[in-house]
Amino acid sequence: MLIEAIQCSNSSSISPPGGHYSHICSAGGFVMISGQLPINAEGRALADKSFEEQTQQVLSNLEHCLARAGVDKYSLVQVRVYVTDMDQWPVFNRIYAQWLGDHRPARAVAGVAQLHFGSAIEVEAMALAATA
């Protein structure tokens, strides 16, 4: 059965999923990370914090998910970013570039009307899985 080839898990370093999904699913040599919102490890949404703080939390959550999958940010192949205010895009881009350094995975950005919990940003990603 095909579902046996898919391995899903959650990072214990971030807040547990609040719905019917997993933080991480691996299949076919890739690791898919569900959309990460600015929610701290205790489960508190940080929508009342600055865009910069929300971005830092989202990238931290993403990094914890990658670590749980046995890879790091340099394994990222594609990143999808959703923001509620496109005027904040340069701020995200600066923080993201500092976080990733020279690594430049494929990326998309979408301006959206709203995100869960009133968040200003959400990031989902795909990475190359570690080889045995």
Residues 17, 99: Cα–Cα separation, whole Å:
24
* pLDDT higher than threshold 70 for residue 132: no
Closest to 36 measured CA to CA, from 52, 18, 50, 49: 18
**Domains of the chain by start residue, with CATH:** 8-128 (3.30.1330.40)
Question: What end-to-end distance do the CA atoms of the chain give, in Å?
Answer: 23
- Return the percentage of the chain with pLDDT > 90, whole number: 93
Confidence of residue 6 (pLDDT cuts 50, 70, 90): very high
pLDDT given for residue 1 in this prediction: 53
Residues 33, 71: Cα–Cα separation, whole Å:
12
Question: In whole angstroms, how large is the CA radius of gyration of the chain?
Answer: 14
Q: Is 74 helix (H, G, I), strand (E, B) or coil?
A: helix
And the tokens for 109?
Answer: 């950005």
pTM: 0.94
Q: Give the residue-averaged pLDDT of 65-93.
A: 97
Confidence of residue 2 (pLDDT cuts 50, 70, 90): low
Return the number of other C-beta atoms located less than 10 Å from residue 26's C-beta: 20
* pLDDT higher than threshold 70 for residue 98: yes
* pLDDT higher than threshold 60 for residue 50: yes
Give 43 or 130, the one with higher predicted confidence.
Answer: 43
